[in-house]
Amino acid sequence: MMDLKYGASREKPREDAAMKRFRGHRVGQFIHWGLYALPAGRWEGKDVEFAAEFLPRVAKIPQHRWEALANDFTLADFDAERWADTAVALGARYMTITTKHHDGFCLWPSAHTDFHMGNTPSGRDVLGELVAAYEARGIDVNFYYSVLDWRHPDWRFTLENDADNLAFARYLDFAMKQLVELAERYPSVKGFWFDGTWDESVKANGWWTWEVERMLKERIPGVVVNSRLRADDFGARHVDSNGLLMGDYESGYERRLPEPWDRSVAAHDWEACMTIPQASWGYHQGPWAQSTLKHPWDVVDMIAHCTSLGGNFLLNFGPRGDGSMAPAEVEIARTVGQWLGVNGEAIYGCGFAEGWEYPGWGYFTQDSSTGQVFAVVTREPASGRIRLELPTGMELVGLQLLGSAGHPFNEHPFKRLAGSVFEVDLGGATSAGPLVFALETGAITGPVAEKE
Ligand SMILES: COc1ccc([C@H]2[C@H](O)[C@H](O)[C@H](C)N2C)cc1
């Protein structure tokens, strides 16, 4: 093991109450909102693909024209209560909001820049309104903060000379001041989601990333920080040069999940973040985005996939320029939330089911406190039957289809194929969306007649 000054803070996952709470949430609402929601991927009458929040870079928009958007950011239809209601509808237990994205615009009245909400027509403190509305509903709030800042004069992608080093030192000082400001203004925030840390300039300043994590944890005990913030003494990111995870959970899964399903992922805490369109985080009005919205059952499959490997799933919403949520995204939230309303006991507070192999037709999840195992069937075989392979020596005693109150364990048709292998006929089971069974199991006590 190398002796690192700015490496991982621990070798094992955090087991304190705040981390257990974050881990048990399993489902979060990501929100990307800023000036980019106004053009929404269209500039000078032309749709620009792959560019909602990236529009200023992709369309090479002059800085002064981008900054002028602040004058149109009227928040005419922004209502934090309605946003929070969308999170409730989704069944989200936490929300992560872009306080400042790569363009440098701040959703709070920062004292350290002029590019913020205070210099817009409404002057409203968007972050303050959101924290109040979400916490009133018992939903934890986390802050996304982009270290990358395209607007700030002292930002550097690389450090070529002393002048660059001096400028970037000023930038890191500015960013630290903004992070202290966020921690002081909104002390109830539960986590920080850092982004924009892939450039050489940041990787060469692992000490700063270590200092940021230390400062936040000093000011907000229990606060949860993602792995994207951290670089170690040698510029290694997420995982330090000794192979240990930095930050409190791995956050490299962006618009992808662990494929193939691999139990080793369950060794540490992690979170996958996902867009509803194929690839747009900010609202993009064009068919490039709007024709690629995920189906609610795709989202349910991803939620169960993450839970089965002990990870959280953060589904992104891109509100429109006027502050209204996009109706199509709200509809998806409602459908997923209705499914979670019936089947959430297989997700919330659940994780990796030790000893259960990946079944192919869906996922096994296990309640971390009761040990109850669930089968989430997201890819029903054409045969209408699933092969249920229990850990060796275990007996399937019965199974309960969630949401079918009164459906006693033993009624559902299943038969033993061999030893601890059973087949369940899904035939009669009906449910809105993927089926979930609570499994009642026991130890095999006597000889088992093997099927010929
Ligand atoms: C391909 O390079 C990317 C892709 C996504 C990102 C940003 C997105 O704007 C969004 O904030 C996502 C979470 N982040 C990684 C940055 C660089």
Q: What is the mean pLDDT of residues 52-71?
A: 98
- Angle CA(213)–CA(218)–CA(220) in degrees, nearest 5? 90
314 CA from centroid of ligand 1 (Å): 14
Lowest pLDDT segment from 54-68, 388-402, 403-417: 403-417
233 close to ligand 1 (CB < 6 Angstrom): no
pLDDT at 409: 62
The answer on pLDDT for 211 being more than 80 is yes
The tally of CA atoms less than 13 A away on the side-chain side of residue 198 is: 4
Minimum-distance ligand 1 atom for the alpha carbon of 281: 10
Q: Are strands 270-274 and 250-254 parallel, antiparallel or unpaired?
A: parallel
Q: How confident is the model at residue 452 (pLDDT cuts 50, 70, 90)?
A: very low
Closest C-alpha residue for ligand 1 atom 16: 196
Minimum-distance ligand 1 atom for the alpha carbon of 98: 11
Say if pTM beats, i.e. exceeds, 0.95.
yes
Q: Are strands 270-274 and 311-317 parallel, antiparallel or unpaired?
A: parallel
Amino acid identity of residue 169, one-letter, is A
Phi, psi of 251 (to 5 degrees): -130, 40
256 CA from centroid of ligand 1 (Å): 12
- Cα–Cα distances in angstroms (integers) from residue 354 to residues 26, 99, 305, 349, 372, in the given order: 18, 38, 15, 15, 11
- Could you tell me which residue, 161 or 451, shows the higher pLDDT? 161
* Cβ-based burial of 418 (10 A; exposed 0-12, middle 13-18, buried ≥19): exposed
The tens digit of pLDDT for each residue in 186-204 reads: 999 999 999 999 999 999 9
Closest C-alpha residue for ligand 1 atom 10: 281
Pick from 434, 433, 411: which is nearest to 424 by CA?
Answer: 411
Pick from 141, 152, 119: which is nearest to 35 by CA?
Answer: 119
pLDDT at 282: 98
SS3 225: strand
Q: How confident is the model at residue 447 (pLDDT cuts 50, 70, 90)?
A: confident
Strands (E), 243-299: 250-254, 270-274
pLDDT at 451: 53
pLDDT at 446: 83
279 CA from centroid of ligand 1 (Å): 9
Pick from 296, 449, 436, 447: which is nearest to 362 by CA?
Answer: 436
The tens digit of pLDDT for each residue in 221-235 reads: 999 999 999 999 999
101 CA from centroid of ligand 1 (Å): 10
pLDDT at 410: 62
115 CA from centroid of ligand 1 (Å): 21
Give yes or no for a contact between 329 and 318, defined as CB atoms under 8 angstroms apart: yes
49 CA from centroid of ligand 1 (Å): 14
The answer on pLDDT for 168 being more than 90 is yes
Q: Alpha-carbon distance 197 to 195, whole Å? A: 6
pLDDT at 275: 98
The answer on pLDDT for 66 being more than 60 is yes
The tens digit of pLDDT for each residue in 278-322 reads: 999 999 999 999 999 999 999 999 999 999 999 999 999 999 999
Percent over 90 (pLDDT), the chain: 94
Minimum-distance ligand 1 atom for the alpha carbon of 32: 11
Q: Helix axis angle, 327-343 relative to 296-308, nearest 10°?
A: 50
The answer on pLDDT for 406 being more than 80 is no
Instruction: Report CA 312 to chain centroid distance, whole Å.
Output: 6
The tens digit of pLDDT for each residue in 98-149 reads: 999 999 999 999 999 999 999 999 999 999 999 999 999 999 999 999 999 9
Q: What is the mean pLDDT of residues 371-377?
A: 98
Pick from 284, 320, 432: which is nearest to 86 by CA?
Answer: 320
Instruction: Report CA 284 to chain centroid distance, whole Å.
Output: 20
276 CA from centroid of ligand 1 (Å): 14
- Could you tell me which residue, 450 or 350, shows the higher pLDDT? 350
Summary mean pLDDT of the chain: 96
Mutation test residue for ligand 1: of 254, 256, 316, 317, the one with most atoms within 8 Å of CB: 254
53 close to ligand 1 (CB < 6 Angstrom): yes
Q: Please compute Rg for the chain using Cα positions.
A: 24
